[in-house]
Amino acid sequence: MFTIVFATLQKTKILGEDENKKPRKNFNAVIALVMGLAVVIPHVIGSYPPDGDVVNIINNALPNVSVVLVA
């Protein structure tokens, strides 16, 4: 989750650029970390409903996505 959010923020440059016209990595990293932890922490403490756990959904979808990417 962290990687997807961080890559999206880096590519879109939503939070602006620094003086060298590069994306602001520190802001992007903090936001991606917070969003990643917001997904993982409820999974660890078990507060998601049984059919709505985002981590389990990603774990179930990952093999299918990798087969499509290889094909």
Q: Whole-prediction pTM value?
A: 0.73
Close Cβ partners of 69 (under 8 Å, ≥ 6 residues apart) = none
Query: pLDDT in tens for each of the 71 residues of the chain?
Result: 899 999 999 999 888 887 788 888 889 999 999 999 998 999 889 888 878 888 889 889 999 999 999 98
